[in-house]
Amino acid sequence: MKFVKTLLAILGLLAAFIMIAPAPAQAAPFCGITWGSLAKVAGTGSTASITNVRAGQHACFDRMVVDVQGRASGYSARYVSAVANPGSGATVPLRGCAFLQVDVLAPAYNSAGLPTYLPANRSEIVNTSGYSTFRQVSMAASYEGRTTLGLGVRARLPFNVFVLDGPGTITRIVIDVAHRW
């Protein structure tokens, strides 16, 4: 009889534990990032000219910034199997396991056709050594009012693109790529 009571007590405790046990935890998004990796497109073309491309490292993502002298809002960014030069169609070689093609709907030249942004090395317009996600930033071309940049990254990771106005008449097209999912 004592054995049966002990067995019933154990079974009762197990049943209570199962009924009130916490649900499995859901993994929180990395740093709260919920961007995803699908294409991002916005805005329209501009005659304002690109003047600089730069990059920085943050705790949760790597950031590329395209400076435009004047008002600009147009961009298209998407993962591709290879970044193509818009004039010739030639593949732009990039380091990394995934490639973002970033088209800024603004030229890197002025109305007279003179360059407003002319990097010393089009294949390495930003030094990305030591970055968590970026492997290479390259300028494919500026053609028919559109400037194509290639961004080689570690993997197909979530990214975000947005436009910041200012300071002054500068517009900044910002591309953030998360360090992980």
DSSP string covering 104-151, please? ESS-SB-TTS-BS---S-TT-SB--TT-SSEEEEEEEEEETTEEEEEE
124-144 CB burial, b ≥16 within 10 A, e <16: ebbebeebbbbbbbbbbbbee
Considering the domain boundaries, does residue 12 fall inside one? no
**Would residue 14 count as lying in a domain?**
no
pTM for this prediction = 0.83
Q: How many domains does the chain have?
A: 1
| Matching residue, tokens 């407003």 | 116
Asked, for residue 83, whether it belongs to a domain, the answer is yes
Domain that holds residue 105: 34-178
Residue 14: per-residue pLDDT: 59
Six token digits for residue 100:
């973002």
Rounded alpha-carbon distances, angstroms, from residue 42 to 77, 105, 114, 141: 9, 10, 27, 20
Note whether residue 163 is domain-resident: yes
| 153 part of a folded domain | yes
pLDDT score for 181: 86
The β-bridge relationship of strands 98-104 and 75-80 is: antiparallel
CATH number of domain containing 116: 2.60.40.3500
**Residue 106 lies inside a defined structural domain of this protein:** yes
**How far, in Å, CA of 61 to CA of 176, rounded?**
6
Q: Does residue 29 form part of some domain?
A: no
Where are any strands of DSSP class E within the chain? 40-42, 49-57, 61-69, 75-80, 83-84, 91-92, 98-104, 134-143, 146-153, 159-165, 170-178
List residues bridging with 49 in a β-sheet. 69
Contact between 64 and 75 under an 8 Å Cβ cutoff? The reply is: no
Domain-embedded: residue 165? yes
Question: What is the mean pLDDT of each successive set of 10 residues along the chain, which is 181 residues long?
Answer: 65 60 59 95 95 97 98 97 93 97 97 95 96 98 96 98 95 97 86
